[in-house]
Amino acid sequence: MRGLGRGVLSLTIATWLAAGIASANELTPARAATRVGEAASVCGVVSDASFRPNLRGEPTFLSFGGAYPDHAFNALVWGGHRAKFLPPPESYEGEVLCVSGRSASYRGKPQIVVDMPRQFSAPEPR
């Protein structure tokens, strides 16, 4: 039942986001580039998620607004922080999620590095 409820909630929130009804404090992935260098909360559907244990630092990438390399925004969890996340970060693929933190630019795309699970949350309904 938990999966069904989570799916319905995700669908409802995705509809709010698509209609532009997300909280004024939350950015869509497409607008994340307007807040690079600032604290931000970016909310949207995780389009693509992958854990890359063979890369230096064992990163997990969560892409929003399209799959890599055509994504609008990226959340990054370094391997040293993965143990803090249950379920693992890549399990959010296809889910609606907000990522909070200081936004930076990496290879021309906005990104937030996520160190703690509390940086992930559900969007605030209006």
pLDDT digits 0-9 by tens, 81-97: 999 999 999 999 999 99
Q: Which amino acid is at 6?
A: R
Least confident of 14-28, 29-43, 108-122: 14-28
Residue 85 lies in a domain: yes
What's the CA gap between 113 and 109, in Å, rounded?
13
Rounded to whole angstroms, the Cα distance separating 63 from 84 reads 20
**CA-based nearest residue to 120, from 81, 85, 83:** 85
Q: Is residue 54 in some structural domain?
A: yes
**Structural domain includes residue 126:** no
Is residue 95, in this structure, part of any structural domain at all? Answer: yes
CATH number of the domain enclosing 64: 2.40.50.140
Does residue 72 sit within a domain?
yes
Q: With respect to residue 45, please indicate whether it lies within any of the assigned structural domains.
A: yes
Asked whether the predicted pLDDT for residue 33 surpasses 80, the reply is yes
Domain carrying residue 69: 2-121
Instruction: Report residue 98: phi and psi, to 5°.
Output: -110, 140
* Section 64-89 average pLDDT: 96
pLDDT, average across residues 31-41? 94
pLDDT (0 to 100) of residue 111 = 97
Q: In this structure, what token pair is assigned to residue 2?
A: 């938990």
- Give whole-number Cα distances, 96 to 17, 51, 52, 54, 78, in Å: 9, 18, 22, 27, 21
| Residues linked to residue 72 through DSSP beta bridges, in sequence order | none
Q: In the chain, how many domains are there?
A: 1
